[in-house]
Structure 1
Amino acid sequence: HQRADYVEIDVQRTKDGKLVNFHDCTMQRTTNIEDLYPNRPSYRVSDFTWNELRRLDAGTWFHDDYAGEPIITLDDVIRHIQHTRTGLLAEISPCSQYGTTIATDLADHLGNRRDYVTKALDRHRLAVQSFQTDDARTFHTAQPDIPIGILDADRPTDTELTELSQWADQINPQHTVTDQTLVDRVHQLGMDINVWTVDEPGAIRTMAGLGVDGIITDYPQTLTQRG
């Protein structure tokens, strides 16, 4: 309803191998996991089965209106968007418990969803991104047709950009380290640039003015509302 071009999700894996959308590396901040499963030694996504996780309330922390909102799987996300105009930008979780196996899992999973992937790629509606260059390379090697982006909180050096341009499709830096020189250089090297997380209207205007290819924001309606 906010007319975003893409939804951005974070892919993690449950103890029994189910791929789910969850941001934090542990679940105490945004769910009632400690109430439901007290005294567990760890509250990482990978320590719980999907049957355990599907019982959680992942909405109340944000607002009472979202009480009872469940954690959803990657397949749920795909099911919601595959017949719409909305694309998917899937981040390979940087949580340390996965090593590069999460990149392989995501590649395998999308490989088994050729129906969705083929259509999404035809419409430029699917990409994967990662803070970990190793994960990005692992994914890219397995699924070279799916655009891959490198997330960066710091400004990438020119050496890094040149090396990444040999195989990556997107450079996705934090907006605070992004300026015209960086945008132009990324474009010159044949890649796209998507900046994150740009929530303040002035910053959104500034980034749009630099000619970035995408703006990752919590408030897409700021961009889609025409005054």
Structure 2
Amino acid sequence: MAAFLKIGHRGAKGHLPENTLASFAKSLELGANGIELDVHVCATGELVVIHDFTVDRVTNGSGEVHKMSLDQLKALTIDGEHSIPTLDEVFDRVGKQCFVNIEMKGRHTAKPVSEFIDRYVADKGYAYNDFIASSFQREELQVMSEINNKIPIGVLTQASVTQAWQWAVEFKAKAIHPHFTLLTESNVHKAQQAGLKVYTWTINEPEDIERIKAYGVDGIISDYPERL
């Protein structure tokens, strides 16, 4: 893993529709050495890569992701030309070219994400540190920590570095993922001294990127990975 991770947010969200195969490929073209994506479990059990709990915002359809089958989701289009990918399809596209931050967005995603990562490690030559499973949701973090202690965990927060740190200790997480506005040079260094990586999101403006990089964070998630 690279010393500093340049992580494309939902691929290269600033350039192409988020969480699409084209967006992930573009992120790598722009120099990212990591990608961030969001997963839900659809009605037929597959892990699908989409941010929202419904398809309404990003596709030409309507409905809740977890109530729709993979065939129903695949029938939808994003900007008229892209489709909602499965997690397997994303890995088929990016291969082992980058670190992958899988955000467990939907409910009950921890177990299938654990099984997915175990399969890629066992059958396809990946290492556990090629991944991190992150979430805002306490339940998913707790389940992951209980069922598979080999998978690195990242605790997302938009509200409190202290809370993220507390959950990280409780769930033996590898990293905290605070919103960049919560960071100071002091709290970054304290977290790192406690053995935690600090991956922060979503930073797009060059002056913010330079300020946060100066704090010594371990990685930045951005819609524009070329700016990192």
TM-score, structure 2 normalization = 0.81
TM-superposition CA deviations, 1:111-165 (whole Å, max 9, x none): 23334675243xx4211101012211211222212211000001222x7625623
1:181 maps to 2:181:
no
- Residue of structure 2 aligned with 1:193, choices 182, 195, 198: 198
Q: Distance in 2 between the 1:80 and 1:114 partners?
A: 17
1:152 maps to 2:172:
no
1:4 maps to 2:16:
no
Structure 2 counterpart SS, 1:145:
coil
Amino acid at match of 2:56: Q
Q: Distance in 2 between the 1:20 and 1:125 partners?
A: 19
1:88 maps to 2:100:
yes
Q: Distance in 2 between the 1:125 and 1:112 partners?
A: 13
> Which residue number in structure 2 is paired with residue 37 of structure 1?
none
CA-atom RMSD in angstroms:
1.8
Q: Percent identity, aligned pairs only? A: 28
> Which residue number in structure 2 is paired with residue 108 of structure 1?
115
1:91/1:128 contact within 8 Å kept:
yes
2:34/2:101 contact within 8 Å kept:
yes
> Which residue number in structure 1 is paired with residue 76 of structure 2?
56
Amino acid at match of 1:80: R
1:165/1:191 contact within 8 Å kept:
no
Unpaired segments of 5 or more residues in structure 2?
A: 1-28
Q: Distance in 1 between the 2:147 and 2:167 partners?
A: 19
1:31/1:56 contact within 8 Å kept:
yes
CA-CA distance at 1:220 after TM superposition: 0.3
Unpaired segments of 5 or more residues in structure 1?
A: 35-42, 61-66
Structure 2 counterpart SS, 1:176:
helix
Structure 1 counterpart SS, 2:38:
strand
1:81/1:87 contact within 8 Å kept:
no
Structure 2 counterpart SS, 1:33:
coil
TM-score, structure 1 normalization = 0.82
Amino acid at match of 1:22: I
Q: Distance in 2 between the 1:152 and 1:44 partners?
A: 24
- Residue of structure 2 aligned with 1:25, choices 36, 48, 53: 53
Q: Distance in 2 between the 1:117 and 1:143 partners?
A: 18
Q: Distance in 1 between the 2:76 and 2:187 partners?
A: 42
> Which residue number in structure 2 is paired with residue 77 of structure 1?
90
Structure 2 counterpart SS, 1:165:
helix
2:121/2:127 contact within 8 Å kept:
no
Q: Distance in 2 between the 1:29 and 1:132 partners?
A: 22
> Which residue number in structure 2 is paired with residue 39 of structure 1?
none
Amino acid at match of 1:165: V
> Which residue number in structure 1 is paired with residue 25 of structure 2?
none
- How many residues align? The count is 199
Q: Distance in 2 between the 1:44 and 1:182 partners?
A: 38
> Which residue number in structure 2 is paired with residue 63 of structure 1?
none
Structure 2 counterpart SS, 1:119:
coil
Comparing both chains, which one has the higher relative contact order based on Cα–Cα distances under 8 Å and sequence gaps of 6 or more? 2
1:164 maps to 2:192:
no
2:114/2:151 contact within 8 Å kept:
no
> Which residue number in structure 2 is paired with residue 132 of structure 1?
137
1:14 maps to 2:27:
no
2:199/2:218 contact within 8 Å kept:
yes
Structure 2 counterpart SS, 1:20:
strand
